[in-house]
Amino acid sequence: MKLEREMMRGAGPTAVMHLLSGDEMYGYEIVERLASQSAGVFEMGQSTLYPMLYNLEGKGLVKSREKKGDNGRKRRYYRLTAKGCRKLEADRKQWTSLIDGLSALGVTRVSNPVSCLS
Amino acid sequence: MKLEREMMRGAGPTAVMHLLSGDEMYGYEIVERLASQSAGVFEMGQSTLYPMLYNLEGKGLVKSREKKGDNGRKRRYYRLTAKGCRKLEADRKQWTSLIDGLSALGVTRVSNPVSCLS
DNA sequence: ACCTTTTGCTATGCCATACATAGTATGCGT
DNA sequence: ACGCATACTATGTATGGCATAGCAAAAGGT
């Protein structure tokens, strides 16, 4: 199930930074991997990812370099900076907190008595 | 732990609608309850909540009416509409999906080998 | 040889929305 | 009378997802 806009806002950058915490990666690859490794949840277009990467780089959370890929084509590879790594840690905590909050409110409770008449 | 801006974007309206699915409630009360019932996670100011309520009402997800409260003061009470109830159900699914996605990527995995040097 | 598809990046602009800030008004305690 | 908690309204700014568009190189088919 694809995520709607406003949720992607919170989760997108975290997901990207998490991916980059494992390995150096280029844009197109990130789009593909995010979609496949999350079963479509983090499916996003290039027009979403690239500006996001520029944004993260502007904040010093990721860093990029040009490099010739396996197929001979020029690619821009991104990797997480130390600052980005710390930000990722903070985000993890935020997510844990958010999930706890939703649970405390009962939003994600499975058997919820709410019934939508009509 | 208070939620940061971009996460509140996705979760705020869902949390509010969830609260209203139980009972009719007025703005000030919502702010108080959200903060206390979520252990501070969904702490938000009035300047965040009221525009959010106007927004939700504009979309037909909640409906309001003026009513004198217990203390004699005029208050604006909000309740969830049928449409809002269906939207809430959809949001629940989105959250479940998102949490699954984060889990699939390993973002929320407790023992994560990422270490931020420096 | 030519064309289409896939891969890969860049740029611009719209729109939604969290939140800061500011202003208004009522009831209660002292 | 004064301050404080309660309760709502209005405005402006900053952020960032995503649509749209364009460019270009490599791969594969016919």
pLDDT tens figures, B54-80: 999 999 999 999 988 777 788 999 999
- The answer to whether A68 CB sits below 7 Å from nucleic acid chain D is no
Is the pLDDT at A65 greater than 70? The verdict is yes
The nearest CA of chain A is from the CA of B91 a distance in Å of: 9
Is the pLDDT at B112 greater than 80? The verdict is no
Please report the residues numbered 19 through 48 in chain B whose beta carbons come closer than 8 angstroms to any beta carbon of chain A: 19, 21, 34, 37-39, 41-42
Would you state the pLDDT for residue A3? 93
Contact A30, A49 (CB under 8 A): yes
Q: Which domain holds residue B36?
A: 5-87
- The answer to whether B4 CB sits below 7 Å from nucleic acid chain C is yes
Contact B26, B78 (CB under 8 A): yes
C28 nearest neighbour residue (CA to C1'): B71
Gap from B106 CA to D23 C1', Å: 36
Task: Tell whether B112 is covered by a domain.
Answer: no
A69, amino acid identity: G
Would you state the pLDDT for residue B73? 82
Q: The domain spanning residue A9 has which CATH number?
A: 1.10.10.10
A51, amino acid identity: P
Task: Return the number of other C-beta atoms located less than 10 Å from residue B65's C-beta.
Answer: 10
Task: Tell whether B46 is covered by a domain.
Answer: yes
Contact A75, A25 (CB under 8 A): no
Q: How many domains does chain A have?
A: 1
Strands A74-80 and A25-26: antiparallel
